[in-house]
Amino acid sequence: MHVLYSVFVEDTLRYIIRMFPGFLLAALMFLALRPWRVRRLAEKGLSGSRLREAALFLFWLFCGGMAVLTLTPGWFNWLPLLRGLMPDHAPFFTLGSWNLVPGRCFEGGLWQSYMLLGNIIMFVPFGFFSALLWRGYTWKRALLTGFCITAFVECWQLCVGRAFDIDDIILNTLGVFCGYLLWRGLRRLAPRFAGRFQVMDILQLVEPTMEYKDQVMAFKAEMLEYGSDFEGCSGLENAETYEEWLDFRGREQRRGWLPSHTWLTVRQSDGRVVGIINYRPSPLSDLVFQYGGHIGYSIRPSERRKGYAKEQLRLTLEKCRAAGEERILLTCDHQGNPGSEKTILANGGVLENEVEDTHGLGNSGRIRRYWITL
């Protein structure tokens, strides 16, 4: 037991302590470059959540530590250097040894088993964080990333008096791929949580104008094609022309609707209309108070499951706050619209009650009423 503790705990702690200079340097670089990164994302119409920034910071720390651990000579130890001691050592750059025969990692005892597992585990974060933080990361990229990183490390180690080992390349690449598989598992079990680590498109609420005529009519065609409900679209489904739809006040007067505000949700990076949202200021009529609420919204089918509904509602809640609202009522079908319910909850919605849908507005016969305090 003592031998196991010495190998798996004490040696692991020594490796972690050796990584500390890399942690510190990576943290300083991350903080120094963060304003530039944020500006670059904004120029592309993108933004990152605090959760993503925290994960990215951890990844930077890990990369800095791994750089010190894998790219310095075997004799390097920062603790004696910190105390002003300069132990005798070989030059920084000197030719090391090499092993080109696969399978030797399986030979040996406890220490060799520790190194085998370590060579896999310590490269798992490269695959996991890369897939977690950046879009379009596939298993092919995971294998390529793993191979390129470890091949560079092994070639570098050959030049600093350490060893080039073909087994390390195989095991390290396997570790990166395992990290990718770990991310796939997380995305399957908690897709919304995993999605919070990706960069988010910046969305804007804009007033409908003739500039968006073609896009709005394409939005309508897509909604009809998918059989989607036009929630919060201010009668778009019944408008023959875009010009007719723009006559919001006239339509409200003709149909006896409450006065409201309608905005298009536009993705900043490419100017694409991804959603429509409608806000009815207080006071609400009895019918709307019971079944409709202050806000209705829709996201076009091709742009769903990207977090747009949550951000669209958040932006509208800011406008509601600026208009003097203190609480906002939102409703959704009890069973027929789980996505809308998750959007409401993500913005702080608190369930007040369920009421019977006597007007057939939903599919389940029950309407859930949520309040969001601003």
pLDDT digits (tens, 9 = 90+) for 94-144: 888 999 888 877 776 666 777 888 899 999 999 999 999 998 889 899 999
- Ranges 85-89, 231-235, 352-356, 365-369: which has the least confidence: 85-89
pLDDT of residue 71: 93
pLDDT of residue 246: 92
pLDDT tens by residue, 225-254: 999 989 999 999 999 999 999 988 888 778
- Higher pLDDT among residues 357 and 364, named by residue: 357
**Can you tell me the distance from the alpha carbon of 18 to that of 311, in angstroms, rounded to the nearest whole number?**
43
Domains in the chain with CATH codes: 2-200 (no CATH), 202-373 (3.40.630.30)
pLDDT of residue 338: 79
pLDDT of residue 106: 73
pLDDT of residue 191: 80
Query: What's 365's DSSP letter?
Result: S
pLDDT of residue 165: 92
Could you tell me the pLDDT band of residue 14, with boundaries at 50, 70 and 90? confident
Of residues 325, 328, 334, the one with CA closest to residue 353? 334
Rounded percentage of the chain residues whose pLDDT exceeds 90: 58
pLDDT of residue 10: 78
Tokens for 71?
Answer: 């790219």
pLDDT of residue 83: 59
DSSP letter string, 197-263: TS-EE-EEEE---GGGHHHHHHHHHHHHHHT---TTSTTGGG-SSHHHHH-HHHHHHHHTPPP-EEE
Tokens for 355?
Answer: 């009421």
Most confident among 91-105, 296-310, 354-368 (mean pLDDT): 296-310
